[in-house]
Structure 1
């Protein structure tokens, strides 16, 4: 299945993107590396579906040759018949988990960097609105919108609290710009309000050049940052983002849970595929493959819907991963009972 669909995917992508690669003068060696990363990245996304379809193809072939009937008629139980499939699914699940945790993140980074450098040149690859960060135990910053191309943020606020958790001072500006040649920040319509007891001391300037402890890129990580980190880097990154109070923390946690759910997905799809295709049908393999593709698309639909809910709202990322697996797990058990009969 991999050898069948991956080359088709590469040819389709190349036919669609070749014009942009030529216009943006993408080097040949980078294009080759891009398609190596493309193979790993896309292959990992479709691996569960390939597993599902390959089991349907193989088992339907057994059923059409009446081999399954012969196996079960000889006294072999359905559970014993299912055991080699589960053993194979275990091998595939471990492979998928290792790839998702350590191999795919590197491929994802190369794939996305090439895409935004040559294929989506000029398009935003960063989170650019409602940026809130906790720099340390006392300092907080906020920017309503950020323009990565111009390195400028609008409606900037910097707050520092003392040990008693009371506001020490607050800096606000209509915009903050990173001046690379001078390695400093430029604040426009600068306003600083310091509290001393019940007295507020206000300082205003039309423009102020100053330094901060944060880097401008730290405020706006690329939207695919979680995909590019391995297991240990992702756990550390999520802890740091939680400490900073990042508004999009759910999207990072969702990536983590999806990786851990891959082995469960492999077993569920294996059981469904065996249960559906082990029965000899009048339509033969075509009916089983049609049903399998339908189930695969429904599964992808569920996964995308709940994933979007977790990213765009307060829906729990853990539930977003668990619910589709529970629904299809129940379906797998039901189809398995029907196949045994």
Structure 2
């Protein structure tokens, strides 16, 4: 069978439209990402994930941003509220792992097998609030400690984690959803930002790029589009050799048409591109521009999946996991 396109795309609504089915059959994206606009209730969501896999295959990855706190697509009343990462600062790793396992099990039950978390960016004073409490801490060691526990929890639930936003979003003074952040810190200063990603580079997670221009490394291009940053910093200094996916190409930090941005990201060294709007014409442009998944990317993705195979899912007492987490959080309050 031919390789799928090296792209992950969004969908428009609660069900696959006729046009979306035709697009999936013709272009065969590597995966799909779902948002609040795609989610109504558990029955509908299971029906949607089943329909996607009917078209693309039983192992096609279906992604969701489910960090807890502000960034959560699964919310009450149908799903429990999960705390943001910052609530675990100075807490037990076991509590963070338990929380991530619970979160991952909720996703896995619904057919969502790739969870875009944890955030390994530092929570730095003076930065834009887009990261804020999505980060564990300003301390790189604490971020690595709790981020590692989060990754293990998601993997124990049989889901694949996606660490973000490599090589670090914590110094951004503007929101990359709206404009391109320009970080002027020195390479020495940026070593702290890299540290959590370096510590967890071999964890088996995917990684998502930052749409940030770092003048210390490349004065012209943001990380997502920079061969220098991807080869020398992400693959080199950090040592990350797992699957690398772009952040959403539709964010306003990037300028250009979707297909061109897809080609530029892949040429820079991303294994996959992500485009989230669910606008059919934009998705087709991204799929057309992305080309087939490379053999090297396929190998990286296969290795990552070995860390989170459904057959390795542990049997968990969800009530006990929630109690373990909540006991720690009460003491931290």
Shorter-chain TM band: under 0.3
Between Structure 1 and Structure 2, which shows a larger proportion of helix residues?
1
TM-score normalized by structure 1?
Answer: 0.23
Between Structure 1 and Structure 2, which shows a larger proportion of strand residues?
1
